[in-house]
Structure 1
């Protein structure tokens, strides 16, 4: 065992270590993205596009003296990062833009520093009145439009970090998935080849310890299956050879029995003796048919050899027509043979193709009554040469249409009469597939069954 090989000399790594590598990479990617977000935030503050958190307090401090001594307060004197409210000494609102729900909190800031939720307040005592500012201690956009319609910068940074972190996890997962899929290729290729019954291959190492262990098990299974199939094939071949040899050996004494029986019939015999001699001749003929069937079975199990030669189409058709005429005469039938082919030569396994077509014609003759017609039409369509054989029998049953090309299938319910062992159409189908074609079975509306054998030109 142990036939798994590696493309390189790198040591296999465990799946856990590979996963840990991607987890560490994901964490580093998340940290890197957070650093990038922080750097961008710092640059925005340094360029003035974003105000720092204490920007509002700094503005209030800068305008403190001006605002505390000014005769009147107008909205254009208020720092742009703050809202304000102007009260009398008894708390009556004079002017301002603080929301109504925060007015009471703003008034409380006159006597002490106050915080109202997310807002901070700062009061300036003036002559007979108080000026109270409302502001936030968070970074803010310089642009009034951005401050109004966008979340504050700090929340945007948090959102960007979260979204970036999710994307880093997504990318890491994709990379890990692709890596694992690539490592799984040897497993997929091995199972595919075994499924196709191709056991002559070497399994390559994936580089992942757990997958390599699985590959080793698959390789052991492949090797064991290969040995088992080889032993089975050798055993079947030996059985076929023995059966074929036995069948040929039987033909020798059978020929002697049949020959002597025919000689007896030529001699002077009474009626009873002639009857016995006829029995011997008929039985010998039947046994000879059985022996030939046994030989055909062993040949069909050995498979077909794809040895092709270039032959003239006309010579092929003349040979088939000649044999078909002889066959239909034996069955006292009429042959209707037509051909319409333009191709001059084709590459085929000549003997096997002729035998396949004749099997179909013989099958048609066996299931047609005496005096009926057997049609053989040879046509060329697109890149195919088609042999269509139509008999005058009862046609194929529904079961025969599905299974007639299977080995040993016999449908005595609808097509009986004659020696039929389910070999002829099976052999013809194998020959057709060897030539890149197929066999189709159907029933004619006017007559009997139709068999169409096609081969690629």
Structure 2
């Protein structure tokens, strides 16, 4: 099974495409953050990291000369402390730890832990602590977010996580969309919804799975069809067997009635022999019925039979049925003696079905004619009756299972007889033909099977 060829790609390229898309989003985020940082820096919204250091270097002399000390000259990002020349803390906004570190700085600048700048005034030292960090130019924002770099980095990672999650959701939706035909096909196979519209996926691996599933679906469809046909054939065989038991039962019943009326002991023995032989037929049919119920009827049951023996059996059984119905049987037998491998019961039943049908529908001359001959490696059996013949509808549908034409052909007989006989003929590479005679005095049915 082939799918409509559309542009497809492998899972590798799908994952690579998604990875490249994620990388592009990451680079774009970096670019946007750098751009925003530069805009904020150039617009004065934020202060550069060296702002305090640069400011103090420029305004160092002003701070040193201001009298009295003006703390407004100190940037809000910095802290200050005033010390006398002996290193004693006078005033400022240093914490205790910073005061101690500032004293160390006054004595030896290299040993301090913080960044300080020392401004010598007239009567004191002014020590200013500063940092190398970006700050908001707004005092309020700086107090709310004193660690600008940390805040900016956290914001960067939050947005990056949002991008990753959105990318994963997008990838999941895309993968689910391409996987949907596979899941639908699996569901259809589970529910035995076969022969539905074929779909495809843009991903090569999923298409390969779909192809495998479609092959599986085709195999399942064929298997179910075969199973259904086997079941129908089994039911048909069971129905045909049950139908064919009627013929020997009719013989037994008719001869039983004759025995009650017969006084000649020799004639009674002959009738009893007919009852016995037809009882054997019923026994064989019942065995076939049991075999069919167990699904073993079609597994073999062929045997080597002499052709003349087969024909003699058919002729004798037919004579009994004809006698019961008061019908004359005229037989033309031209077969020669040859061994064939065949299911004798099946062939006998098939031919007797046709004969029974002819007996039931011959009326004008109260007779039937049987012709047995071998032509071109085929056994040809022709059954001629002298009734009304087939209707135009029956000529079309007589071999169909359960077809019946109540006004012409028996509901019992044409429902199964012709259908069964046709199946048996086809089993042995033959067939059935039937037609009305040109003089409108009945019909001819021809049964053919290959014998070698």
Question: Smaller-chain TM-score range?
Answer: 0.5 to 0.7
Q: 1:241 aligns with which of 236, 239, 264?
A: 236
1:76 corresponds to: 72
Task: Give the aligned partner of residue 11 of structure 2.
Answer: 15
Mapping for residues 295-306 of structure 1, pairs under 5 Å? none
Out of 210, 216, 224, the position equivalent to 2:211 is 216
* 2:54 alignment counterpart: 58
Alpha-carbon deviation of 1:213? 1.7
After superposition, where does 1:24-39 map in structure 2 within 5 Å? 24-39=20-35
More displaced 10-residue stretch of structure 1: 128-137 or 61-70: 61-70
Report 1:169-188 matches (<5 A).
Answer: 169-188=164-183
Shift of residue 252, structure 1, vs aligned partner: 3.7
Call closer, same or farther: CA 1:265–1:114 in 2, change over 3 Å: farther
Aligned mate of 2:129, from 103, 114, 134: 134
Once the two structures are superposed, what CA deviation does each residue of 1:322-362 show, in whole Å capped at 9, x if it has no partner? xxxxxxxxxxxxxxxxxxxxxxxxxxxxxxxxxxxxxxxxx
Match of 1:225 among 220, 224, 233: 220
Aligned pairs (5 A) from 1:20-419: 20-113=16-109, 119-255=114-250, 257=252
- Aligned equivalents of 2:67, 2:249: Cα separation in 1: 141
Please tell me whether Structure 1 or Structure 2 has the larger radius of gyration of its CA atoms: 2
**Counterpart residue number, 2:2:** 4
2:30 is paired with a residue of what secondary structure? helix
Query: Relative to structure 1, is the Cα distance of residues 115 and 189 closer, same or farther in structure 2, using a 3 angstrom cutoff?
Result: farther
Separation in structure 2 between the aligned mates of residue 95 and residue 68 of structure 1, nearest angstrom: 16
Residues 114 and 120 in structure 1, CA contact (< 8 A), matched pair in contact too: no
Q: Corresponding residue for 1:445?
A: none
Computed over aligned residues only, the root mean square deviation of the Cα atoms, in angstroms, reads 3.2
> What's the TM-score, normalizing by structure 2?
0.55
Measure the CA separation in 2 of the matches of 1:220 and 1:113.
84
Matched pairs, number: 274
SS of match in other structure, 1:128: coil
**Distance of aligned partners of 1:95 and 1:266 in 2 relative to their CA distance in 1, 3 Å threshold:** farther
1:222 is displaced (CA, Å) by: 1.4
- Which SS does the other structure have where 2:245 is aligned? helix
CA separation in 2, counterparts of 1:218 and 1:116?
Answer: 76
Q: Which sections of structure 2, spanning at least 5 residues, go unmatched? A: 264-274, 294-452
TM-score relative to the length of structure 1: 0.54
Tell me: CA distance 1:100–1:261, structure 2 relative to 1, closer, same or farther (3 Å): farther
Partner of 1:184, secondary structure, is: helix
Contact preservation (8 Å) 2:105, 2:112: no
**8 A contact 1:83–1:98 mirrored in 2:** yes
Which deviates the most, 21-30 or 230-239? 230-239
Q: Structure 2 CA distance, aligned partners of 1:259 and 1:133?
A: 136
Residues 18-60 of structure 1: CA distance to partner in whole angstroms, max 9, x if unpaired?
1011011101101111211121222222222211111112321
1: distance between equivalents of 2:151 and 2:246?
A: 97
Deviation at 1:86, TM superposition (A): 0.4
Q: Unpaired runs of 5+ in structure 1?
A: 269-279, 299-457
